[in-house]
Amino acid sequence: MDFTETDEQRALRAAVADLGNRYGYSYFTKQARSGGRLTELWHEAGKLGFIGVNLPEEYGGGGAGLYELSLVLEELAAAGCGLLMMVVSPAICGTIIARFGTPEQKRHWLPRLASGSSIMAFGITEPDAGSNSHKLTTVATRDGDTWVLNGRKIYISGVDEAEAVLIVGRSADAKTGKLRPALFVVPTGTPGFTCRPLEMDIVAPEKQYLLFLDDVRLPADALVGEEGAALLQLFAGLNPERIMAAAMAVGSGRYALGKAVGYAREREVWDVPIGAHQGVAHPLAQVKIELELARLMMHKAATLYDAGDDMAAGEAANMAKYAAAEASIKAVDQAVQTLGGSSMTAEFGLAAMLASVRTTRIAPVSREMILNFVAQHSLGLPKSY
């Protein structure tokens, strides 16, 4: 691995940071508290080529990789205005369609996902099947040349912004009758597709939804890739999800650390800045170290993924997500401790982050499931679940 970023990657970081700083945390929270969306930021990022930087050039993307896409999200989050739908639309859905979609699916969806003119949500979690994707009850049944989809999904981000949802269901094997994973693109206007917003207790512009799929009839070409290979196709999208979640967490941690360091330099008690005291400085230094370690694992995971090593990337992506979640939670908590009562004010924008970064420990995959993965696949221990 080369730990030195290219001139192009450094220029991309600088350009994204400039965009993020023009919007910032005040824009993010204003939109979130008013029930608005991050539409202006999303569209400008799309026009600048940031949203689809990982998608193929022939379809209007940047032709780069997941490394560059994670870089974009990290820098936006570090400016206080991370775009959650980047985890979903270009990273999960765009990647799956680019790798496994039909030529027509690629021509129809990738240019729109790359430009940001269209958003695709991702539907996997169900009320009774969270981490266990083998127990999904959303079923697709063949009916001549069409598919009929029935099921429920929960905690699906950004459905109100999306033109379609990439639904993870199961279909019956023609020979055995056993249910196997299958992926379908479902336009949100399809008859039988309805959604209901979930009332959440965190400050975020992206809304969460419960989906109802009642006899949703889809054409044959709604199926993405092959039925039998859908599990492999699914994880080809979930590894980018974990890497992008790590990028969001690292960026959020950087934002919180920056606020804490700035305050510690300026706030004086007994005629010296509080940052001169080791009781303040050492915890912040520790946060810096842990964020950098998480960032390195994130870069390793993205590099392995871009090199086509899905197995190694899966291990690194899970580790990166774990490390980034823990580091970001610690960063925000220590920033709150450094600022004291000031951290609770809107001026510094830290109190609302306590809940949002805490979600990184449970989503998009829980800390415990990552530990299960590492214990079983990295250490060779017996399966525990």
Describe the crossing of helices 66-78 and 7-34 by its angle, rounded to 10 degrees: 50
Specify the DSSP class assigned to residue 222: G
**Residue 60 and residue 51: Cα distance in Å, rounded?**
11
Q: What is the mean pLDDT of each run of 10 residues along the chain (385 residues)?
A: 90 98 97 97 98 98 98 98 98 97 97 98 91 82 95 97 96 71 95 97 96 98 81 85 98 98 96 97 98 98 96 97 98 98 91 95 96 97 94
Domain at 210, CATH number: 2.40.110.10
Which residue in 139, 137, 136 sits closest to 147, CA to CA? Answer: 139
- In terms of domains, do 203 and 302 share one? no
Strand partners, 203: none
Using CA atoms, how far residue 144 sits from 102, 186, 311, in Å, is 20, 18, 37
How far apart, in whole angstroms, are the C-alpha atoms of residue 73 and residue 254?
A: 12
308 shares a domain with 279: yes
137 and 109, same structural domain? no
Of 169, 203, 227, which closes a domain? 227
| CA-wise closest residue to 225 among 166, 174, 176, 178 | 166
Q: In this structure, is residue 240 part of a structural domain?
A: yes
Predicted confidence at residue 230, as pLDDT, reads: 64
Contact in structure between 243 and 70 (CB atoms under 8 Å): yes
Number of helices and strands in the chain (H, E): 11, 10
**Of all helices (H) and strands (E), which one includes residue 147?**
strand 146-157
Neighbours of 61 (CB within 10 A): 23
Q: Do both 30 and 65 map to the same domain?
A: yes
Interhelix angle 310-339/351-358, rounded to 10 degrees, is 160
All residues at 6 or more sequence positions from 221 whose CB lies less than 8 Å from its CB, including other chains: 102, 104, 105
- Number of domains forming the structure of the chain: 3
Chain centroid, CA 337 distance in Å: 28
Same domain flag for 288 and 336:
yes
Does residue 77 lie within any of the structural domains? yes
Give the per-residue pLDDT at 85: 98
25 and 147 both lie in a single domain: no
In a domain, 385, yes or no: no
Is 47 inside a domain boundary?
Answer: yes
What residues make up the domain containing 189?
A: 122-227
Is position 383 within any domain? Answer: no
DSSP 75: H
Of 101, 118, 135, at which residue does a domain stop?
118
Please give the pLDDT value at position 229: 63
Q: Is residue 52 located within the same domain as residue 127? A: no
Q: What is the pLDDT of residue 176?
A: 64
Burial of 359 (0-12, 13-18, 19+ CB in 10 A): middle
DSSP string, 243-308: HHHHHHHHHHHHHHHHHHHHHHHH-EETTEEGGGSHHHHHHHHHHHHHHHHHHHHHHHHHHHHHTT
Residue 384 lies in a domain: no
Contact call for residues 158 and 168 (beta carbons, < 8 A)? no
The CB density around residue 354, as the number of other CB atoms within 10 Å, is 17
Indicate if 112 and 250 belong to the same structural domain: no
Element (H, E) at 338: helix 310-339
CATH number at residue 303: 1.20.140.10
CA–CA separation, 38 and 182 (whole Å): 31
Q: What pLDDT was estimated at residue 226?
A: 79
* H or E element in which residue 184 lies: strand 179-187
Confirm whether 262 is domain-assigned: yes
CA dihedral 246, 248, 253, 256 (to 10 degrees): -170
Using CA atoms, how far apart are residues 9 and 116, in angstroms rounded to an integer?
Answer: 21
Which residue, 66, 27, 86, is CA-closest to 346? 27
Please report where in the chains the tokens 């010296």 appear, as a residue.
272
User: 312: which 2 tokens?
Assistant: 């190694």
Q: Which residue has the tokens 């086509």?
A: 308
Do both 261 and 365 map to the same domain? yes
CATH number of the domain to which 44 belongs: 1.10.540.10
Last residue of a domain, which of 63, 84, 118?
A: 118
> Who contacts 379 (Cβ-Cβ below 8 Å, separation ≥6)?
none
Q: Which helix (H) or strand (E) holds 141?
A: strand 139-143
* Whether residue 111 sits in one domain with residue 216: no
- Do 353 and 280 lie in a common domain? yes
Is residue 107 located within the same domain as residue 185?
no
Tell whether 136 is covered by a domain.
Answer: yes
DSSP assigned state of 144: T
